[in-house]
Amino acid sequence: MRGLLVKDFRLLRQRIRFFAMLVVIAVFMAASGSAYGGSFVAGYLTLVVAMFSLSTISYDEYDNCYCFLMTLPIDRRIYVKEKYIFGAILGLAAWLIGVAIQSGALFFHHQQAMLWENLTEALVYIPIFLVMIALILPFQLKYGVERGRLALLAAVGLVAAAVWTLVKLGGRAGLSPAGLLARMSGLGDGQILTGCFLLAAAVTFFSFLISVRIMERKEL
């Protein structure tokens, strides 16, 4: 798997200017002060970079590289695992850079007191980007990058319809979303964050299993 990681990092090097530009924008955002306070910069960097990590699938698709890659000493499970790990490494790296930029800006504005609050707020972006990768990857592996986007949109529509139906049915059974939120507001930040991480881990695990199945059935 290390070979695949080396390949993807080297492919990503092609976009080094884009990443540098992202960091510059993030620095400007953080330096501009309270208007962009909170954990926005860390969130922005993390989500954009995590999305970008998926572009390595386009490189594998382009020139029909898939066929050749699957003749190398890896199996399809390893290929899938690498995509998740690569996305996680990039997302975490971007998150760390985002937090560092933000913390630097707080020091610059003499607001060190907000450091801890900002850090805990930024933590929520980690499960968010993990879930994002977990949702997108199976679609991209199944349908390819272009068709995968359309399939994902269709799936999001279906999920929204399913949620709407559940809410309606729950309403009839006396369970309202407002009541659920009110109950959640009683939880501490740590509990909510832990819940988010556990949910992200579960979603990622199931997404991985689905992706492996997709790749193992794929004819190249």
Partner 1 sequence: MIELKELCKKYEHFSLEVSMEVRKGCITGLVGKNGAGKTTTFKAILGLIVPDAGEVRVLGTDPAELTPKDRQKIGVALAESGFSSYLSIKDIAAVMKQMYDDFSEGDFLEQCRRFELPTDQRIQKFSTGMKAKLKVLTAISHNARLLILDEPTAGLDVMARNELLDMLREYMAMEERAILISSHISTDLESLCDDIYLMDQGKLLLHEDTDVLLGSYGILRVNPEQFGRLDHRYLLRRRQEPYGYACLTKEQQFYRENYPGLVLEKGKLDDVMMLMIGGEKL
Stretch that binds partner 1, among 8-16, 102-110, 115-123, 143-151 (CB under 8 A): 8-16
Instruction: Name the 3-class secondary structure at 72.
Output: coil
Distance CA 213, CA 5 (A): 21
From residue 42 to residue 61, the character string flagging contacts with partner 1 as x (rule: CB under 8 A) and all else as - is: -----------------xx-
Footprint of partner 1 on 120-159 (CB under 8 A) = none
Nearer to partner 1, 6 or 153 (CB): 6
Answer for the pair 41, 102: CB distance below 8 angstroms, yes or no: yes
> Does 189 engage in binding with partner 1 (CB under 8 A)?
no
Distance CA 212, CA 70 (A): 13
Contacting residue, 17, 35, 183, 219, with partner 1 by CB under 8 A? 219
> Does 63 engage in binding with partner 1 (CB under 8 A)?
yes
Contacting residue, 71, 113, 116, 186, with partner 1 by CB under 8 A? 71
Axis-axis angle for helices 76-108, 125-172 (nearest 10): 100
Distance CA 129, CA 84 (A): 11
Distance CA 133, CA 123 (A): 16
> Does 73 engage in binding with partner 1 (CB under 8 A)?
yes
Give me the torsion for CA of 26, 101, 120, 83, rounded to 10°: 70
> Does 68 engage in binding with partner 1 (CB under 8 A)?
yes
Q: What length is written for the chain?
A: 220
> Does 85 engage in binding with partner 1 (CB under 8 A)?
no
Nearer to partner 1, 14 or 120 (CB): 14
> Does 78 engage in binding with partner 1 (CB under 8 A)?
yes
> Does 74 engage in binding with partner 1 (CB under 8 A)?
yes
Distance CA 127, CA 110 (A): 30
Neighbours of 52 (CB within 10 A): 18
> Does 83 engage in binding with partner 1 (CB under 8 A)?
no
Contacting residue, 18, 28, 62, 108, with partner 1 by CB under 8 A? 62
Nearest to 50 by CA among 6, 105, 87: 87
> Does 6 engage in binding with partner 1 (CB under 8 A)?
yes
Task: Name the residues that contact partner 1, by CB under 8 A.
Answer: 2-7, 10-11, 14, 59-60, 62-68, 70-75, 78, 219-220
